[in-house]
Structure formats: C-alpha cells, structure tokens
A and B are shown apart, each in its own frame.
Chain A
C-alpha cells in the first residue's frame, strides 16, 4: 500500500516558447502512514509533483502506481483515486463556492455518491477536526476570516476520508497563531486517522516539528530525501539552493562553536532544550 513514482518527467507547454521542464526523472516511494515534508524553493516543481499523486497532471514520461496499480492504465478509475488521495491546493479558500460552510464541505462527499446521513456525519466530523465550531457551519464561507476559510477548505477534502492527504502550502499567508493551529490540527489528524500526510512548504521551520521524513526539491529534481536530522545536517548546501535549516540548527551550531558540546543535529526546539539542559546538569 503506497504511492510509487517511477522516473517521472513533466514538461510544460512542450514545443512552444513557453516550454519548461518542471520535473526531471523523479523516483519516489511514499509508504502508508508516513508524515512527509516536501520542501523546495518557489518554482522547484513541488506543486507540479503533488498533482501527479492523484492523476490531475499526467507525466510526460514515467509511471505512477497507487497500491500497485498503474494509474495511467486506460481502464484505471481516476475518480476513485481522487477519493483516496485528497489534495488541498494552495490558497484553498479561493475554491469555496457554496452558500454555507456545511454545504461547501458536503460537496466532496456528495460527489462520492454517499448516503445523506454519511455525508452529514463526515462533514460534521471533518469540520470538528479542523476546529470550526457549530456557530459557523451555517454561515456563508465568504464571511469568514482567512484562516477560518482555509480550515473549511481543508475540511472539504478531509470529509472525503482520503487515505493520503496532500496539502500544498497550507500555512501560506497565515499569521503565526493560525499557522501553528493548522499544523497542529494536521498532525492530530495524522495521528488519529492513521493516514499518510504530505505537507508541502518552503519553510523548514513549519515542517521540522512534525514530519518524519523530508524531501527537498531543487530545480525539478530531488536534492535530499531523508530524516529531518540528516537533511538539516546539510544546512550549508540547503542555503545554496535558497532554503535554510530551522533556526534551532543554527543556534546549536553556534553553541558548539562556543565550545559547548551539544548535539548539533537536533531538529525541534524541545530536543534542543533537552540537549542544552543535559549539558548544563552534567557540569
């Protein structure tokens, strides 16, 4: 049970002046239940890559396999795939269209042909999981704040109960509080539903606290694919491709340079705290 990408190449507008190779020979395996951070600079191809996961974009060459089945087979049911691989686009609040929050969330599950009861159950559950209270479900989605709209949009995909949840920059344009809330809710959903989550971001800070694996994209290729700890150890190379390790990595390196023997490869603030306290107590 996994998503396998085999030597994917994707070229935009081939044979015109706008031709651009967005993905170069990408091979990737995403296992069940993983929590992955997909990081890359603007234009590195990360948004194009995730659209291959549910067949919205067809690779120029290469194959995509979901649970062992080739999704480019002529008789493969793409609608079924989109039910299993939920994709939340960047700025998803711009796709809201219904008159009430609840109706908008129901759009996805209704398209799956579920019973009215099941549609309602799933919608209420999804809204609850993203922290939208009962007072808002009958409001117009256009009256909500930016952060609330985004959570409604995420609920719209969650209500389809996907096995894999892919989110493209879910925190773009949010304030720190909104960012932490959304990321916390996503982590909770990953834990409770035991689904695979792919979190796309250009900020290491965003993903370092949550994910188990980081894929770094650069110029349409995969630059690193490893645990956060190992990826951040390349912090100098990351800077060269326009990214940066989390600030805690820099702080730990600075401490070591001052002669304090701490582990420089910690990835979260919590781990850094432990490392510094351990050194402090030992003295």
Chain B
C-alpha cells in the first residue's frame, strides 16, 4: 500500500541511462519538457511518446513501476482535464443545463492530459535512473553560475537531496506507526471524513516527532563531521563527461529537431 508510492524514487538497475552523467539527464529532461510545450499537433506528441518509450526500454525500469508513479498525481490530472473540457469556449458538441462541452474543449483536454502524462513519466524516469547524490551533484554543477548572483546553490542542492533521501525513510516510518496503531485497534480505513481525519492523529503526531528527531540527529551528525556548507568542499566522485554523454546530447538534439519539424506538419 504505502510502499506503492514510487514517484521521485530511485530504481537500482544497470543500464546506459543509469550510467549517464546526471548533468546530461537533468538538462535532457529540461529540454524534453520544453519540447513538450513546443509541440503543436498530434504528430509531435506521437514523436515524444515514441522517444519516451524507447528511453524507458533502454532504462530497464519496469514500465508498470513507472506508471504507478502516475497514481500520485491522478487528482491533478483529473482537475486539468475537467477544467479544459468544460470551460473552453468554441463550437458546442454537447449541452445539458449549464454543462457545455465544445470540440475545442475536447481537443484541449486530451492534449493537456497527454502532455501531463508524458511530462510526469519523462521526469520521473530521471529520478528512477539517478541516485539522489548524483542528482544533487549534477544540479549543483549546472547551477554553479548562479553563485555569482549570491544564490546559495550548494545549500539548495543539499536540501533537495536530503528531502529526496528522506521520502523512503518517512514512508517506512509511516508504515510502521500505522501498523503499530492498528495493532492497538486503530482503524484508518472506515468511517466518514471527520472520523478518518481524527484517526490520523495517532499517526501524524508520532510521525512529526520522529521527523524532527531525525532532522536533529542528522544535523548533529553533519556538524560532528565538520560540515560547513559548500565552500572548499571537494567531491569523492567528481563528474566527468564521457563518450556516451556526447551521444546522448546528439540524440537530444535530434529529438528537438524532430519536434520542431512536426510543428510544420
């Protein structure tokens, strides 16, 4: 149940995608997202979907596992589709009292849904194939120029990696506390909305306390190892571009070209 939340998590495997430089994956994902917004017609979405499918195949992450990540955003997806479906003006195809569905609305809703799904699948593929550590390293190195503008790049990257690292820990903790309270007769599954919200108290209070305790412990451990921010800090595994990263860049450039071409179709 609670272990089913897979979005944003790392999936250990041995594939070209896993070995790729995190900077390439980060900027590649960014480029992919930009492309999704450049797309004008269904040919473009088809091109993006085919490319994504090929990359997923290459990543050796089970497709079902990636799709599970969509569960977490299903509400958002439904909202977007509903709003586009009912609130777009144009030629009406269906009318009933105050509900009006237009041809443009259907097109827009479908396009939005496909775009969102492609976006989420694509970006979660990045976190599936990149460890939080690599992700932070990549982000830090990509954003380094911002240091000149006094943006605390290292701190932001560190915060992000800690947050990512703690998702599975807190999920496990939630699972444990839930079971412990269920063993004491707590019921999280039945009852009305208010009753269910009340039932969350025995879960949330210990969870918050444990999150604060862990945060305190981690801060103490970092301090004990003389952590003092990014200044003068060296890496155990510095990032180096390899040949496959060049190939990846080429593939990305081709993808961009294809998407731009589909705009003319």
A interface with B by C-beta (< 8 Å): 13, 15-17, 51, 54, 56, 79, 82-83, 86-89, 92, 94-97, 107-108, 111-112, 142, 156-157, 160
Contacts and interface: CB of A to CB of B under 8 A. Distances in A.
B181 interface: yes
Given A15-B62, A16-B62, A54 B3 contact: no
Of A89, A92, A156, most buried by chain B (CB within 10 Å of CB) is: A89
Given A89-B176, A95-B177, A156 B65 contact: no
Given A17-B11, A94-B210, A86 B202 contact: no
A87 B183 CA distance: 6
A17 B12 contact: yes
B13 A17 contact: yes
B147 interface: no
A112 B182 CA distance: 12
A79 B186 CA distance: 9
B209 interface: yes
Given A16-B65, A95-B180, A79 B187 contact: yes
Contacts of B201: 97
A12 B65 CA distance: 15
A160 B184 contact: yes
Interface in B105-150: none
Nearest to A90: B176
B229 interface: no
Given A15-B62, A82-B182, A89-B179, A107 B3 contact: no
B205 A97 contact: yes
B185 A160 contact: yes
Given A13-B3, A17-B11, A89 B183 contact: yes
A160 B185 CA distance: 9
Contacts of B205: 97
A63 B143 CA distance: 55
Of A95, A157, A160, most buried by chain B (CB within 10 Å of CB) is: A95
Contacts of A92: 180
Q: Which 7 A-B pairs have the closest CB atoms?
A: A111-B185, A97-B205, A108-B184, A87-B183, A95-B180, A89-B180, A56-B179
B138 to A, nearest CB: 22
6 contacts: A13-B3, A95-B181, A97-B201, A108-B185, A156-B184, A160-B184
Contacts of B186: 107, 111
A96 B206 contact: yes
Given A16-B65, A17-B11, A95-B177, A56 B182 contact: yes
Contacts of A97: 201-202, 205-206
A87 B186 CA distance: 13
Interface string B180-216: 1111111100000000000001100110011000000
A13 B64 CA distance: 13
Contact of A111 (B65, B184, B210): B184
Contacts of A16: 11, 62, 65
A152 to B, nearest CB: 12
Contacts of B3: 13
